[in-house]
Amino acid sequence: MSIEAKEEFRPKIVAFCCNWCSYAGADLAGSSRLAYPADVKIIRVPCSCRVNPMFILRAFERGADGVILCGCHPGDCHYTSGNYYARRRMTLLFSMLDFIGVENGRTRVEWVSAAEGVKFSTTMREFVDKIRSLGKNVRLEDLRCRN
Among 3, 4, 8, 144, binds another protein (CB under 8 A): 144
CA-nearest of 120, 141, 126 to 59 is 141
Residues 37-96 close enough to bind another protein by CB under 8 A: 38, 41-47, 49-55, 57-64, 72-82, 84-85, 87-96
Say if CB 25 and CB 114 are below 8 A apart. Answer: yes
Whole-number minimum distance, CB 9 to another protein, in Å? Answer: 14
How many residues at the interface with another protein, by CB under 8 A? 84
The verdict on 115 binding another protein (CB under 8 A) reads yes
Nearest CB to another protein, comparing residues 3 and 11: 11
Nearest CB to another protein, comparing residues 3 and 15: 15
**Exposure string (b/e) for 80-106, b if CB count within 10 Å is 16 or more?**
eebbeebbebbeebbeebeeeebbeeb
Q: What spatial distance separates the first Cα and last Cα of the chain, rounded to whole Å?
A: 29
The verdict on 141 binding another protein (CB under 8 A) reads yes
Say if CB 88 and CB 4 are below 8 A apart. Answer: no
The verdict on 33 binding another protein (CB under 8 A) reads yes
DSSP H or E segment with residue 15: strand 13-18
For residue 66, the cross-strand partners are 13
Among 2, 4, 6, 104, binds another protein (CB under 8 A): 104
The verdict on 133 binding another protein (CB under 8 A) reads no
Among 27, 122, 126, 132, binds another protein (CB under 8 A): 27
The verdict on 100 binding another protein (CB under 8 A) reads yes
